[in-house]
Amino acid sequence: MALLVPFAALRRRLPQALAFKGRILEILQQAVKKLANSMRIYAETSLDFQRLVRIDKEEAIDNLDRAFESKLEAFHSLYDVSRDHLDYFSHGDTSSLILMRNAIHHRDHLLFRSWNQEMALDNGFKNYLGAEFLLVDYPTLGSPSKMRYFFKLEDFYLRVDESLESPYLEKKMGAAKREKLLNQLDSDLFFSDIRKHAESERYPLKQIYINVIPIFISATCRAFSALKESGVQFAGFDAETYGQPFTNELKVDFSRFMCEPLRIV
Task: Give pLDDT tens digits for 112-158.
Answer: 999 999 999 999 999 999 999 999 999 999 888 889 999 999 999 99
Hey, is 72 helix, strand or coil? helix
CA distance 162 to 117: 27
The answer on pLDDT for 51 being more than 60 is yes
> What pLDDT score was predicted for residue 43?
97
The share of the chain scoring above pLDDT 90, in percent, equals 86
> What pLDDT score was predicted for residue 45?
98
Query: Contact at 8 Å (CB) between 194 and 153?
Result: yes
CA distance 259 to 132: 12
CA distance 204 to 213: 23
The answer on pLDDT for 1 being more than 50 is no
Q: How far apart are the first and last CA of the chain?
A: 84
Q: What are phi and psi of 259, to 5 degrees?
A: -120, 130
Sign of CA dihedral 258, 109, 90, 22: negative
The answer on pLDDT for 86 being more than 70 is yes
Query: Where would I find the H helices in 4-56?
Result: 7-53
> What pLDDT score was predicted for residue 18?
45
The answer on pLDDT for 211 being more than 50 is yes
The answer on pLDDT for 80 being more than 80 is yes
Q: How far is CA 71 from CA 169, 179, 212, in A?
A: 23, 26, 12
2 versus 133: which is more confidently predicted?
133
Least confident span in 1-15, 70-84, 149-163, 227-241: 1-15
User: How sure is the predictor about 8, in pLDDT bands with cuts at 50, 70 and 90?
Assistant: low
Q: How far is CA 65 from CA 8, 44, 116, in A?
A: 57, 13, 9
Helices (H) and strands (E) in the chain, counts: 9, 4
- For residue 193, which amino acid is it? D
> What pLDDT score was predicted for residue 144?
87
- For residue 159, which amino acid is it? R
